[in-house]
Structure 1
Amino acid sequence: LPGVTYSDTVSATEPCKPCTQCVGLQSMSAPCVESDDAVCRCAYGYYQDEASGSCKECRVCEVGFGLMFPCQDSQDTVCEECPEGTFSSEANFVDPCLPCTTCEDNEVLVKECTATSDAECR
């Protein structure tokens, strides 16, 4: 029955399997059809934990750390410490470390760039 059961094998004797139901923080990215089960995806800001099968909140990169690999499907956010010459002044799971501002020739550096804040020029 479409949307209720499916069969991934061609067999007259093997019973159909029940379709997966997307629940909670999951939404359907592919419907259950005759030969394929439904595919569920976690909502934005969440990933599917392989061990439990449930949606878990994406890790937030703290100030001084930037995004290395985004949170998606079954992978949590991977953060990196901002290397010299870059900074991250906001905690989130979307922004990489940003390059520090370089003062123009007619400007004076009033604050050095650190891993947690950009340089300031005047």
Structure 2
Amino acid sequence: MCPDADRALGLAPHTDSYLFMLLYQGNINGLQFYDDAMEWVDLELVEGALIVNIGDLMQIVSNGRFKLVLHSVVANNTRHRISKWFFYLPPWDDVVLPLKKLVEFDRLPMYRTVIWKEDVEF
């Protein structure tokens, strides 16, 4: 809970570097995403639901079929927020590249090959 939520940052806009992230919001609103109309949209709260965020690496591996989402969290001045999350990520030294079958289907890789730790360290 934030006493002056209008002056608090919450969690700044970002994407997740991982393959994907599972998030339980604790039944409190605040998660936002940036949509194709170029505006911030509040994610409608579904009680007990898990949110699945596609990460940077999943976009690479899927050759762009799964799109990452720019998202943020706004502060709440009425209730405490406890969020629980789980990230799925490869070993630190793994090479990440678009899946061969998807590249063959799409004709060209849309992303370059990266070593995960180098991509995260930017």
TM-score interval, normalised by the smaller of the two chains: under 0.3
Q: Select the structure that is richer in helix.
A: 2
Highest CA radius of gyration, 1 or 2? Answer: 1
